[in-house]
Amino acid sequence: MKKIIYTITSLVLVSSVMLSSCTKDFTEINTDPNGTPTALPEQLLAPALVGSLTTVMLRNRSFNNELMQVTVDPSDAEGRVFRYDYRPGVSDAIYNGLYTELTNFKDIYKAASQELTYNKSYMGISLICQSWIYSILTDTYGDVPYFESNLAKDSGIYEPRFDKQQDIYTDIFKKLDTANVYLGTGTEILASSDPVYGGTVANWRKFGNSLYLRLLMRVSAKPEMAEFCKAKIKQIVETYSIMASNDESAILKWTGFGPFSSPYLAVREQDFRQPGLASFFIDHLWTWDDPRIDIPTYGTNSINRWGIAPYSGSYEGIPSGYAPGENPVKKSYFYSNTSKSSLMTEPLTGIMMNYAELKFILAEAAVKGWIKGSAETYYNDGALNSITLWLPKWPVKIKDFLTTAHIQWDDNLSFEDKMERIHLQKYYALFLVDLQQWFEYRRTGHPILPKGAGLKNNGVMPARMVYPVYVQSTNPTNYKLAIANQGPDQIYTQVWWQKP
């Protein structure tokens, strides 16, 4: 019965967003889509997390992975993401899905602020989740509705203004500072309401502060933010609680029961198998003899840990960005659920942020001299935990593995070579994590991706998604102000933190 109710609720959510006009769309987004204005925080948290992860996981698969040369969905048709060419409609799902869930997270905060249901931990968790969602939205589109978003129900604002990305980030940082204080009280929450940490409030606090480091690093190159970011990164590393192990990674582990079934199960099996793996992604793993694609030693049911099909006794991929007419043969690919093991049913795919990512953030900060500690140690820890997240009992010493693979840390490398080494390993740590590979590439230019002859947009990685088409006609005044401030509503227009 619970599964039926949840499914019906999800269908209502999707249809209310996709089939309405923008004015009505914002009305629906700004009104609790579950129709429960008096719901308790513990009733809203799990559905909001599931809904958010469903949205970003599906776009990770079809958008991020194609841009970032994880997969290639081969075709000579127009609108192929791997060629930096995609239709405007691709933009709608992230925008609609995440703004819808923001209503639930804001309702959690509102309910937890009331006298009879007062709970600072739920308030802090809400602020962290809002920050996580808003950061994905603004890093995807640039300027987006923030201060006036999701306010139709309370304030009658149906056409919210688009706020500047710098102002959004500044307020996100305030939210995360507040969340750290709220969660520091240690107020208990209902364990069954929390599918990420099972009610362990201290881990939510560590996730919030680790997320803070991710976002500080993202805007740290902007001159107007640089000194603040450097000082805050140092303060958080030295005085805040942050993730300390893979067990503290922010992951909603899919159980396969009720609403906690992986969103990948909504993908047709033939579609899940359809993309071939890109050469860039699989060639490194094969060259390194990476245990995540090892079958004899670390596989299960004759399938490796990442559910990748070998090709003629090895692993081979398709060159991304190939020119129309070249028609490369698909080789390795991700198994679908018809196989005994597959990412379609993998519990660990619901990743918000993992411990390995944090370690690579610290490695970069150490190389730049912003924090104390050894960049080599942070790098090694990141590489180790990137692997042991998937293979907890992997027995090999990380230095031995890295040296054999010729990717060990070298203090004599140039700054750019150190960044390449960090971000190549971070690329694999960010596998399956919403659009973070794309965001980090846009920020750093690393890892260096090969350029195929068939790339559009002058061979330059797209800098953003365009706004959903309906926004142009139903929130025209604020849409025009947004593009006047940011630049043309095109994939080549850089967002604030990318601009020199």
Predicted confidence (pLDDT) per residue in 74-126, tens digit:
999 999 999 999 988 899 999 999 999 999 999 999 999 999 999 999 999 99
Is residue 3's pLDDT more than 50? Answer: no
For 311, other C-beta atoms within 10 Å of its C-beta total 17
DSSP state of 440: H
Q: Which helix (H) or strand (E) holds 250?
A: strand 250-252
| pLDDT tens per residue, range 199-208 | 999 999 999 9
Tell me the pLDDT of the chain averaged across its residues: 93
Is residue 1's pLDDT more than 50? Answer: no
Q: Which helix (H) or strand (E) holds 46?
A: helix 41-59
User: Using a CB cutoff of 8 Å and minimum separation of 24, what contacts does 161-166 make?
Assistant: 161/478, 161/481, 162/478, 162/479, 162/481, 162/482, 162/485, 164/485, 164/496, 165/138, 165/495, 165/496, 165/497, 166/219, 166/222, 166/224, 166/225, 166/496
The structure tokens listed for 193 are 């309401």
pLDDT at 38: 66
Candidates 61, 162, 116, 134; CA nearest to 435 is 61
* Helical pair 165-183 and 120-141, crossing angle rounded to 10 deg: 160
CB of 51 closer than 8 Å to CB of 131: no
Average pLDDT over residues 271-287: 98
pLDDT at 153: 85
CB of 74 closer than 8 Å to CB of 330: yes
Q: What is the 3-state secondary structure (H, E, C) of 315-367?
A: CCCECCCCCCCCCCCCCCEECCCCCCCCHHHCHHHEEEECHHHHHHHHHHHHH
Q: What are phi and psi of 368, to 5 degrees?
A: -80, -5
Torsion of CA 346, 404, 244, 417, to 10 degrees: -100
Average pLDDT over residues 359-380: 98
Average pLDDT over residues 30-39: 51
Gap between the Cα atoms of 271 and 401, Å rounded: 35
Q: Is 300 helix (H, G, I), strand (E, B) or coil?
A: strand
Pairing type for strands 276-277 and 71-72 reads: antiparallel
pLDDT at 479: 98
Pairing type for strands 144-145 and 162-163 reads: antiparallel
Q: Is 252 helix (H, G, I), strand (E, B) or coil?
A: strand
378 or 14, which is more confident: 378
Candidates 64, 58, 134; CA nearest to 441 is 64
DSSP state of 468: P
pTM across the whole model: 0.92
Average pLDDT over residues 204-216: 99
pLDDT at 295: 97
pLDDT at 13: 39
Q: CA triplet 11, 135, 234: central angle to 5 degrees?
A: 145
pLDDT at 22: 40
Gap between the Cα atoms of 447 and 68, Å rounded: 10
The structure tokens listed for 82 are 């791997």
Average pLDDT over residues 222-228: 98
Candidates 406, 446, 422, 428; CA nearest to 366 is 422
pLDDT at 154: 84
Average pLDDT over residues 356-365: 99
**Confidence tier at 152 by pLDDT (50, 70, 90):** confident
pLDDT at 371: 98
| Single-letter amino acid, residue 261 | S
Q: What are phi and psi of 72, to 5 degrees?
A: -135, 120
Gap between the Cα atoms of 416 and 408, Å rounded: 15
Q: CA triplet 495, 143, 136: central angle to 5 degrees?
A: 80
Gap between the Cα atoms of 378 and 271, Å rounded: 38
User: Which of 19-33, 225-239, 337-351, 376-390 has the lowest average pLDDT?
Assistant: 19-33
**Confidence tier at 258 by pLDDT (50, 70, 90):** confident
The structure tokens listed for 421 are 């080494």
